[in-house]
Chains A and B, each alone.
Chain A
Amino acid sequence: MAVAIAMALATAANPGWGRGGRLCPTPIYPYARGLRDVTEPAASPDWDRDAELLLAYAAGDETVASALVASLAPAVLAQAFRMLGDQAEAEDVVQDALMRLWKIAPEWRRGEAKVSTWLYRVTANLCTDRLRKRRTVTLDAVAEPEDPAQSVTHKLQDVARHKALSEGLAQLPERQAQAVALRHLEGLSNPEIALIMGIGVEAVESLTARGKRALTAILAGRKDELGYDND
């Protein structure tokens, strides 16, 4: 018991020891360790400019936050928008994800996971949290995504399709939804997804295959709404 308590205390004190949970700043994937040696030259392809900026931010440099925002926020916004199909919600996710980054900055360790990899994971988690909450409200109650050009018919169709996909993802188990979104919406490879999710490549393949099969079945019931047969 004492060992279990001690391990729990040590894990709580250093979140980097976790299994790569939601707030793990430096996920301990077998692949992530030693992604870049500290002594590698800055020109190395594995050199993470964002990590260097983040370390400068943690050290008190007030000027680097805007560079980090410019570098990271657009990708987070795009990922969240693709998963959620709602710009306002996606913007909230960006703010949550970057707030977690600012808070974790002092614990960031050079040479482990890349900032972009960490953000993919945090964003996917934040999005699936929101998708899960949507399950508890009726689908019709989910706000219609804003469309700036509603007069254009095909734009409306795009919005409806995006909404249908997002609602379909909401019905999947979280890990399946994350794997499917990272594979088919972000276009990442299975090894990249494995790194982000902290699991093996085979587990990614399994999650993606099951998720895609379930999503196909869910959306089969909405084929008229999707309108592909009329295109």
Chain B
Amino acid sequence: MTDPDFKDVERLEALFADVRDAEAPTLSSDLTARLLADAQSAQSTPQNRQERARWRTWIGEIGGWPSVGGLVTAGIAGLWIGIAPSAMAEDLWASLTGESYEVAILSDWDVFEVETDG
């Protein structure tokens, strides 16, 4: 983009000043009434506030949102390891106990019912 002409810059500055100094519309009584009606409809009920306060207290007690994030991470990681354990985890278990386990969570579960009787 080429540098704008000095006159063009001056014109833009004048335009900014005009719009900045222009009289802004005032808040009409109709708009005020709509805003207050919105405020009333959006205000939460005492029950909602109690519920929210209970959650906030619980989250605070376990250490705040970072702890919730940690819990979720640990949960998902645990679930993932349970579904698809790495060979290393199986080998470690076998070397500690001398036994090896195989847990099949889904093998007997015919999710899409593709097996037909007989």
A14→B64 CA distance, assembly (Å): 11
Which residues of chain B are within 8 angstroms of A229 by Cβ–Cβ distance?
A: 11
- Give the residues from 1 to 24 in chain A that come closer than 8 angstroms, CB to CB, to chain B: 2-3, 5-7, 9-10, 13-14, 17
- Give the residues from 59 to 116 in chain B that come closer than 8 angstroms, CB to CB, to chain A: 65-66, 68-70, 72-73, 76-77, 80
Instruction: Tell me if A46 counts as interface (CB < 8 A to partner B).
Output: no
Which residues of chain A are within 8 angstroms of B4 by Cβ–Cβ distance?
A: 213, 216-217, 220
In contact, B44 and A10 (Cβ under 8 angstroms)? no
Which residues of chain B are within 8 angstroms of A162 by Cβ–Cβ distance?
A: 18-19, 22
Instruction: Tell me if A115 counts as interface (CB < 8 A to partner B).
Output: no
In contact, A78 and B24 (Cβ under 8 angstroms)? yes
A219→B15 CA distance, assembly (Å): 10
Q: Mark B29-73, 1 if CB is under 8 A from A, else 0.
A: 001101110111011101001001000000000000110111011
Q: A13-B65, A219-B11, A220-B5 are in contact. Are A106 and B44 (CB under 8 A)?
A: yes
Q: Of B12, B43, B52, which is within 8 A of A219 by CB? A: B12
Shortest CB–CB separation between residue A102 and chain B, in angstroms?
4
In contact, B72 and A5 (Cβ under 8 angstroms)? yes
In contact, B32 and A69 (Cβ under 8 angstroms)? yes
Q: A2-B77, A60-B43, A102-B42 are in contact. Are A13 and B68 (CB under 8 A)?
A: yes
A228→B11 CA distance, assembly (Å): 7
- Give the residues from 23 to 68 in chain A that come closer than 8 angstroms, CB to CB, to chain B: 57-60, 62, 65-66, 68
Q: A184-B16, A217-B4 are in contact. Are A99 and B42 (CB under 8 A)?
A: yes
Besides A73-B27, A74-B24, A95-B34, 18 new A-B residue pairs in contact (Cβ under 8 A), listed by A number = A6-B70, A65-B35, A65-B40, A87-B25, A94-B27, A95-B38, A98-B35, A98-B39, A105-B42, A162-B18, A164-B15, A212-B12, A213-B3, A216-B9, A219-B8, A220-B11, A228-B11, A228-B15
The interface of chain B, by Cβ under 8 A from chain A, is 1-5, 8-12, 14-16, 18-20, 22, 24-28, 31-32, 34-36, 38-40, 42-44, 46, 49, 52, 65-66, 68-70, 72-73, 76-77, 80
